[in-house]
Chain A
Amino acid sequence: MKITEVTAPVPKGPGLLINILPVVVVVWGFVGVYLLQLAIDSTSRRQGERLMQELAYFPSGVALREAVIEYREIVADFIWLTAIDYYGRHQETDRRYEWLGHIFEILTTLDPRFVGAYHFGAITLAWDAHKPIEALRLLLNGMKANPLNWQLPFDAGFINYMLTGDYKSAAQLFQVAAELPGAWTVVSRWVPYITAKTGDFETARQMWKDLYYSTENKKLRELIIRQLQVLKLEEGIARLQEAVDQFYEKEKRLPNRIEELVGQGYIKEIPEEPFGGKYFIENGKVRSTTQPGLIK
Chain B
Amino acid sequence: MFNRVFGVALNTFRESLRDRVLVALIVTAIVVMAGAKVIQPVAMGEADKIIKDLGLSAITLFCVLIAVLVGGRIVYREVEKRTIYLILARPVRRLEFILGKYLGLMAVLVLSLLIMTAGFYLILLISRVSVTLYLLWAVLMTAFELALLTAVAVFFSTFVTPIASSVFTFIIYFIGHSTYLLKQLAAMSPVPAIKFLGVVLYYILPNLGNFNIRGDVVYGVPLNPQALVLSALYGLVYSLTLLLIAVMIFNRKDF
Q: A81-B43, A116-B45 are in contact. Are A70 and B60 (CB under 8 A)?
A: yes
Stretch from A44-52, A217-225, A277-285 contacting the other chain: A217-225
Count contacts on A: residues with CB < 8 A to the other chain.
25
Rounded to whole angstroms, the CA-CA distance of A110 and B181 in the bound complex is 16
Chain B CB within 8 A of A73 CB = yes
Chain B CB within 8 A of A80 CB = yes
Q: Are A73 and B46 in contact (CB under 8 A)?
A: no
Q: Are A73 and B214 in contact (CB under 8 A)?
A: yes
Q: Are A69 and B44 in contact (CB under 8 A)?
A: no
Count contacts on B: residues with CB < 8 A to the other chain.
26
CB distance from B211 to the nearest CB of A (A): 8
Give chain B interface residues in 45-93, CB to chain A under 8 Å: 45-46, 49-50, 53-54, 57, 60-61
Q: A70-B177, A80-B50, A113-B219 are in contact. Are A219 and B44 (CB under 8 A)?
A: yes
Q: Are B57 and A73 in contact (CB under 8 A)?
A: yes
B60 contact set on A, CB distance < 8 A: 70
Q: Interface digits, A76-95 against B, CB 8 Å rule (1 contact, 0 not)?
A: 11001100110000000000
Q: Are A81 and B209 in contact (CB under 8 A)?
A: no
Rounded to whole angstroms, the CA-CA distance of A215 and B46 in the bound complex is 11
Secondary structure of the A contact surface, majority rule? helix
Chain A CB within 8 A of B42 CB = yes
Q: Are A220 and B44 in contact (CB under 8 A)?
A: yes
Secondary structure of the B contact surface, majority rule? helix
Rounded to whole angstroms, the CA-CA distance of A72 and B50 in the bound complex is 12
Q: Are A70 and B209 in contact (CB under 8 A)?
A: yes
A217 contact set on B, CB distance < 8 A: 44-46
Q: Are B215 and A77 in contact (CB under 8 A)?
A: no
Q: Are A70 and B43 in contact (CB under 8 A)?
A: no
Chain A CB within 8 A of B218 CB = yes
Chain B positions within 8 Å of A, measured between CB atoms, are 39, 42-46, 49-50, 53-54, 57, 60-61, 173-174, 177-178, 181, 208-209, 212, 214-215, 218-219, 221
Chain A positions within 8 Å of B, measured between CB atoms, are 66, 69-74, 76-77, 80-81, 84-85, 111, 113-114, 116-117, 120, 215-220
Additional A-B contact list (11), CB under 8 Å, known A114-B49, A120-B44, A217-B46:
A66-B178, A70-B209, A71-B61, A74-B54, A77-B50, A77-B53, A80-B46, A81-B39, A81-B50, A218-B44, A220-B44
